[in-house]
Amino acid sequence: MKADKKLSEHFLKGHEKYLRHISIDCVVFGFHENELKVLLLKAKYAGKWALPGGFILTEEHMDEAAGRILKERTGLDKIFLQQFYVFSDPDRSTKKINQGFLKNLGIKLDKSWMFDRFISVGYTALVDFTKVIPEPDIFSEKCEWFNIHEIPEMILDHENILVKAWGYLRLQLNFQPVGYNLLTTKFTMPELQKLYETILERNLDRRNFQRKIIDTGILKRLEETKKGGSHKAPYYYKFDLRNYKKALRAGMGFEL
């Protein structure tokens, strides 16, 4: 189907397929080259950027919906997802955005479910950056990663959603397998530390960090080292998922 056809059908008949008034917005976190990244879409015409999002099928679990949406944007199955907040301000004014969108596209419509008010459920997603193949949706022209410190101008309240998700990620650090989901299978201690530092937004002492994380028992050190830097080669580690989950049940005690 042609893109325009898909779009006008979405505006005209989407309400038969999806629950009205409810949308999902996802903040997809990745970690690459020692930087925390977020996956964003460039909205057609609006010029601003948007969070990957979508709607809930009439008989679908909301968590499944979020998984389905992100499978389309990333190519990944079984993404680690958590709902973190519902954004329900009646003045979120999705109406204007969606009307302007159609206008630019050259389609005229007086009524559409897309002009209604939307309550949006925010999800955080943790993915392995290296495995993602970014794919724009029908409303977007691009899909790209951004450094968390270099977020472009965003539509609606999406920047607010993003900031709130980041705060949630920080709170989750001691209770969810954040490292496991954001890093590749094997990684070095400095990489893991940088991940913690970026999320917590503060520097940690290298030696104390290593001791603390080793003492939790959540890591297994490999024989292999990461060569290539002009310095001593750091060991690779991988997570001991069994111990990781056990440790998380009790909470891991990194000060926020």
Partner DNA sequence: CCAAAAGTGTTTAAAATACACCCATGC
Partner DNA sequence: GCATGGGTGTATTTTAAACACTTTTGG
Interface residues toward a second copy, by CB under 8 A: 19-22, 56, 58-63, 83, 85-86, 88-90, 117, 119, 121, 251, 256
Rg (CA), the chain: 20
Rounded to the nearest 10°, the torsion over CA 198, 128, 122, 58 is 180
Q: Is 251 left (phi over 0), alpha (psi -120 to 50) or beta?
A: left
Report the partner that residue 131 touches, choosing among a second copy, DNA, none (CB closer than 5 to 8 A by kind).
none
Residues that bind DNA (CB under 7 A): 188-190, 205-208, 210-212, 225, 227-235, 253, 255
Nearer to DNA, 33 or 255 (CB): 255
Nearer to DNA, 158 or 194 (CB): 194
Which residues are 148's β-sheet partners? Answer: none
Report the partner that residue 211 touches, choosing among DNA, a second copy, none (CB closer than 5 to 8 A by kind).
DNA
Report the partner that residue 186 touches, choosing among DNA, a second copy, none (CB closer than 5 to 8 A by kind).
none
Report the partner that residue 88 touches, choosing among a second copy, DNA, none (CB closer than 5 to 8 A by kind).
a second copy
CB 204 within 8 A of CB 196: yes
Min separation Cβ 213 and DNA, Å: 11
In 10 A of CB 201, how many CB atoms?
12
Sheet holding 219-225, edge to edge: 187-188, 235-239, 219-225
